[in-house]
Amino acid sequence: MPILQNKLVWKSIEALHDEAIGTMPDVGKDVGIIKSRPAIISNNKSANDLTSKKSEQNISARFDPLVNAPDENKKDTSSLKIPKVLGWAGLIPFALATVGIHSEIDALVQHGFFGGTTYGAMILGFLGAVHWGLTMQNDRSPLWYIWSITPTLLGFCVLLIPHVEMRIFALLPLFGFAWLVDRRAANEGLIPNWYMRLRSILTAGALICLSVMLLAYLF
């Protein structure tokens, strides 16, 4: 009996041993799965963090005025084509008046003198009106309203002069003085730089035409 009992005990121990060995691979697999889960969780966390950072950047770019602020140095050149073309076209009446004066046709000469000086007085008023519009849009001194109508009044006074040569004599310094006022306004940042550059070129063209008219009248 003791021998039989010992055999039963050993068989039970061997059975338990075999069962333990048989279950070890599954345990290893479970352990491997458990070990792989932190890596998966870590990868998911990294992806979520990256997505969150991108979302924060998009939101900040949408609502932060400094991110999407336009570069003041980069101007849309296409939007400046119209004022430049119209500005150069404004010299055409001066050029036609100058050509008419040198045509040796009495009617064209008279129209050239009176038309050129009348147009010059109108342009002088336009140059002052620019400051009226800018003063309404910006916080500028009310004195600019006074200046904005001054060239118009002076141009009207020029038209009251009966002699065309005296009209030209009056327009030449008035155009120069108006340019000096705009130059000061540009230095103070009250008018755009592109306008001042265009203004300088067009003023030079107008002064040349008026000077040629005056020389044609005197000589």
pTM attached to this predicted model: 0.65
For the segment 66-123, what is each residue's pLDDT rounded down to a tens digit? Answer: 334 344 444 556 788 999 999 999 999 999 999 999 888 999 999 999 999 999 999 9
Cα(17)–Cα(65) distance, rounded to whole angstroms?
A: 73
Instruction: Find the mean pLDDT for residues 147-172.
Output: 95
